[in-house]
Structure 1
Amino acid sequence: MKTTVFKFRSFGENLGVRVLGEKVRQDLIATIESSECVILDFEGVNVVSNSFADECIAKLIPILGFNKLKQKTTFRNINDFARKNVLIALRRRLSIICSE
């Protein structure tokens, strides 16, 4: 099984804007597609804004599907603030998809 560690720290300590989120999402999609399991590693990242979390992670749901995203990814070293924003973004994106 090919496991890949995707290090968010390589994009900065503070991840806060949609433009960066879009760029990281493109790299992340390629990584997910070429690996069986991807560890989303947030070591060294202090801030993940809601807009970055939505653009980078939550927008993967309509692209890859929720089940595939859940099966192929796991989080590591994510602080409570970042975790909260990622969860909010994922819930909002899922509620949008479910209401369509």
Structure 2
Amino acid sequence: MNKMTTFKFVTINENLGTRQLGEYVRTLLLRLIEENEKVVLDFTGVNVVSNSFADECLAKLLFTMPLEELKQRTTFRGLNEFARKNIAIAFRRRLNAMNLDAC
């Protein structure tokens, strides 16, 4: 297992908006997370991260690992304020939905 790698979202697109694209990128990220101890999620150069993309790509990673493990295995870099807020909202909504499903 490698120590660390960086995934540059700008290589996908400067504007990340659809669930379909989010699902595709999530499959790439899962492979990187399995092969590396830490993955840097680098959003440098990305203008837009929609709620839909953030949920599909990032928040749905919670189906494969607990939040604490995800925090240990990934770190964010280069997020603008708009993207940071949308990602935070996606995680909050996904965690709330998962907690409701567990009841």
Partner of 1:64: 65
Unmatched tracts of structure 1, length 5 or more: none
Unmatched tracts of structure 2, length 5 or more: none
Separation in 2, partners of 1:42, 1:29: 17
- TM-score of the pair, normalised by structure 2: 0.94
Partner of 1:9: 10
Name the Cα RMSD after superposition: 0.9
Q: SS where residue 79 of structure 2 aligns? A: coil
Whichever residue aligns with residue 49 of structure 2, its letter is V
Matches within 5 A, 1:21-100: 21-100=22-101
Cα displacement (A) at 1:65: 2.0
Q: SS where residue 68 of structure 2 aligns? A: helix
Separation in 2, partners of 1:2, 1:71: 12
- Output one character per residue of 1:36-60: Cα deviation in whole Å (capped at 9) or x when no partner: 0111000110000000000000000
Cα displacement (A) at 1:84: 0.3
Separation in 2, partners of 1:65, 1:21: 19
Deviation >6 Å, runs of 4+: none
Whichever residue aligns with residue 97 of structure 1, its letter is M
Separation in 2, partners of 1:12, 1:92: 25
Cα displacement (A) at 1:24: 0.2
Separation in 2, partners of 1:64, 1:17: 23
